[in-house]
Structure 1
Amino acid sequence: MNVLFTTLRQTIGSVRLLWLIYGITLVLGLLVALPFYNTLKIEDQNSLAFLNLLDGFDYTVFSDFMHRSGRTISPLMSVGRWLGILYVFLSIFFAGGILLRFSQPNTKFNGEMFWQGCTHYLARFLRLFGVTLLFVLVGAGLWLVVGSLVGISLSDTLTERGLFWIGAGFFTLFALTATLLLCIGDYAKVLMFREDGHNAFRAFGQAGRLVMRNLGQTYGLYWLLILLGTGLFGLYFLLDEAVLMSGWLTILIMFLIQQTLIFARVSLKVWWLGTAYNSYQTLPKPTPASRSTSLVEPATEPDENTPLTALEL
């Protein structure tokens, strides 16, 4: 827990980094939101039915609108899906810069150093993402396949409630396995960063041994931040129920609450990666990967004015 609070102080001290990532997220969201809003404004044809959506989701209004204007909205939905892929890419891209920031906690945030850290580790972190995704699809997806087969084989003997609990049980196993593998993937990032490793499979295996030997200090903290993020979503839904969007003032209030939640999510992601970095330094290390260069552990502590290239980037 000391690591968690130490990293929280470092995260709060990196507020410029948080605003930078949040700003990029906001701009990308507006690239889709503004055309989507303009299209909706044209397609609603001044219908008052959309006012019903201010008090909550109305499936009838949604289905009628999609039946009439689905062809116009579909391209924007496709852009939204591509934007989701871009968000995943950016999370991988930012990881190197975030880890570089936490490796130098006593220096001021340097934008140039951050971008160089992002680009320097991008290729190896993309390979690691592919390895992590492979393990998630095979390891965690196996539970969904087995659950489906069990449900089909018992469909004639169990009630709907029994089938529901079987499905819930296998989905829980899927969620636990997937989050464990994602946690291992994040520690593999830290390992590749600290040891300057390039082999994604080797790093994932070493990180897996590290996490499994220290579940409470690694996976436990990972789930703690997941629950914290879930609590923030629960709080948002409670506020959404309490604040009825009946005018521009209440709409503005909910917009500010939504943006606060997005900023909190960005902070949680940075906080977690920093927690993994600091935890790695205190845990018994796996067999280190061979390192050819040194980025974050030079002979002397780096000066904030020293360019990243001078640290053998």
Structure 2
Amino acid sequence: MNALTSSLRHTRSSGQLIWLIYGVTLMLGLLAALPFYNTLKAEDEDSLAFLNLLDGFDYTVYSDFMHRSERAIDPLMSVGRWLGVLYLLLNLFFAGGILMRFSQPRGSFNTGLFWQACSHYVGRFLRLFGVTLLFLLAGGGIWLVAGTLVGVMLSDELTERGLFWVGVLFFVLFALTATLLLCIGDYAKVLMFREDERNAFRAFGQAGRLVLQNIRQTYGLYWRFILIGAGLFGIYFLIDEAIVMKNWPTILIMFVVQQALIFARAGLKVWSLGTAYTVYATLLKPTPLTRPAPVFEPLYTQSPATEPNKDEPQSSVD
């Protein structure tokens, strides 16, 4: 729990970083939300049927609207999918800045250093994402294919309930494998940052050995963050059930709740990666490297008119 509480303390002191990530996420969402709203407003033709959706999802209203306005909605759906890909790339981009923040917990947040770190490490993390995705397709795909084959072979012998539990079993195996690989990917990011490692395959292999040798301290904490995230969504759905959006005050309340959830997810993302950074520093690395991580200098220079204090000792730079 020391690593968890220590990283939480550093996360709480990084409010500017969380607000920055939240702001970028909000702007990204508005890129899709505003055109979608304008299209819906133009296509609804002042129909009152959409008011039925305030009490909950109504498939009849949805199907009738899509049957009439599918051509206008399809391009927006495509934009939403591409924005999802962009959101994933932004997460990779922010990872270097988040790790830089946790490597300098005592200093104040510097936006310039944050963007420098993001830009410096994004290429490495993109290669690491490709390696992680490759292992996800191979490792997770095995359970999906095996589950499908087992279901086909036992379809004549088991009832629908039996086939359901077979599917649940293989889905759980898939989920455990996928989350383990994603956990290894996070520690590989930390390894590439701290040890200045550029080879994504080597970093993933070293991080894999580290995680498997310390499964409770690494994968166990990773699952705690998954459960915390699931708990946040559970609280949101309970509030959504309790507050029926029938007027502007209730709509405003739910909007605030939704934005609070997005902000909490941004903080959880920072906290999770910061915990991986803290845990890595406390564990024995499988094959420690000696190359130091690059040091980013502040984005300002000393004024020519400022002279060094002759009474202070001078340090040399190698």
Sort the TM-score into its range (normalised by shorter chain): over 0.9
Q: Is the 8 A contact 2:188 2:207 kept in 1?
A: yes
Q: Provide the identity percentage.
A: 71
Q: Is 1:294 the equivalent of 2:293?
A: yes
Match of 2:30 in 1: 30
Q: Which has the larger radius of gyration?
A: 2
CA RMSD in angstroms comes to 1.5
Residue 214 of structure 2 corresponds to 214
Distance in structure 1 (CA, Å) of the matches to 2:220 and 2:122: 27
| Aligned counterpart, 1:137 | 137
Q: Distance in 2 between matches of 1:305 and 1:124?
A: 23
Aligned counterpart, 1:148: 148
Contact 1:197 1:290 in 2 (8 A): no
CA distance in 2, matches of 1:303, 1:32: 37
1:113-157 CA-to-partner distances (Å, cap 9, x unmatched) read 000000000111100000000000110111011001111111111
SS across alignment from 2:71 = helix
SS in 2 for 1:121: helix
Residue 159 of structure 1: aligned partner: 159
1:294 Cα deviation (Å)? 3.4
Tell me, in whole angstroms, the C-alpha distance in 2 between the residues paired with 1:106 and 1:305. 18
Question: Which residue of structure 1 lines up, in the alignment, with residue 90 of structure 2?
Answer: 90
- Tell me if 1:52 matches 2:55: no
Q: TM-score, normalised by structure 1?
A: 0.94
Q: CA deviation at 1:306?
A: 8.0
- Verify: 1:116 aligned to 2:108, yes or no: no
Preserved CA contact (<8 Å) 2:195 2:290: yes
The 1:75/1:303 distance shift into structure 2, 3 A limit, reads: closer
| 1:1-313 equivalence runs, <5 A | 1-289=1-289, 291=291, 293-295=292-294
Q: In the alignment, residue 15 of structure 1 is paired with which amino acid?
A: G
Is contact 1:203-1:289 (8 Å) kept?
no
The answer for unaligned runs of 5 or more in structure 2 is 302-316
Counterpart-to-counterpart distance in 1, 2:55 and 2:214: 47
Give the conservation status (yes or no) of the 8 Å contact 1:108–1:304: no
CA distance in 2, matches of 1:218, 1:294: 22
C-alpha distance in 1 between matches for 2:67 and 2:267: 39
Q: Residue 60 of structure 1: CA displacement?
A: 1.2
In structure 2, C-alpha distance between the alignment counterparts of 1:21 and 1:140, rounded to whole Å: 30
Q: What TM-score does the superposition give when structure 2 sets the normalisation length?
A: 0.92
- Shift in Å at residue 48 of structure 1? 1.1
Instruction: Please say if residues 11 and 270 of structure 1, whose CA atoms lie closer than 8 Å, have aligned partners that are also in contact.
Output: yes
Distance in 1 of aligned mates of 2:141 and 2:257:
35
- Whether the aligned pair in 1 keeps the contact of 2:193 and 2:293 (CA below 8 Å) is no
Q: 2 CA distance for matches of 1:17 and 1:210? A: 28
* Shift in CA distance, 91/303, structure 1 to aligned 2, threshold 3 Å: closer
* CA distance in structure 2 between the aligned counterparts of 1:151 and 1:90, rounded to whole angstroms: 39
Aligned residues: 302
Would you identify which runs of 4 or more consecutive aligned residues in structure 1 move more than 6 Å?
Answer: 302-307
| Aligned partner letter, 2:200 | A
Task: Tell me if structure 2 keeps the 8 A contact 1:190–1:276.
Answer: yes
1:48 and 1:185 map into 2 onto residues whose CA distance is: 49
Cα offset, 1:288, TM superposition = 2.4
Query: Which residue identity does 1:133 align to in structure 2?
Result: L
CA contact (8 A) 2:7 2:278 kept: yes
2-structure distance, mates of 1:290, 1:151: 50
Query: Partners of 2:141 and 2:94 in 1: how far apart?
Result: 27
DSSP 3-state at the match of 1:218: helix
Q: Are 2:112 and 2:298, in contact at CA under 8 Å, matched by a contact in 1?
A: no
Which runs of 5 or more residues in structure 1 are unaligned? 297-301
**AA of the residue aligned to 1:218:** T
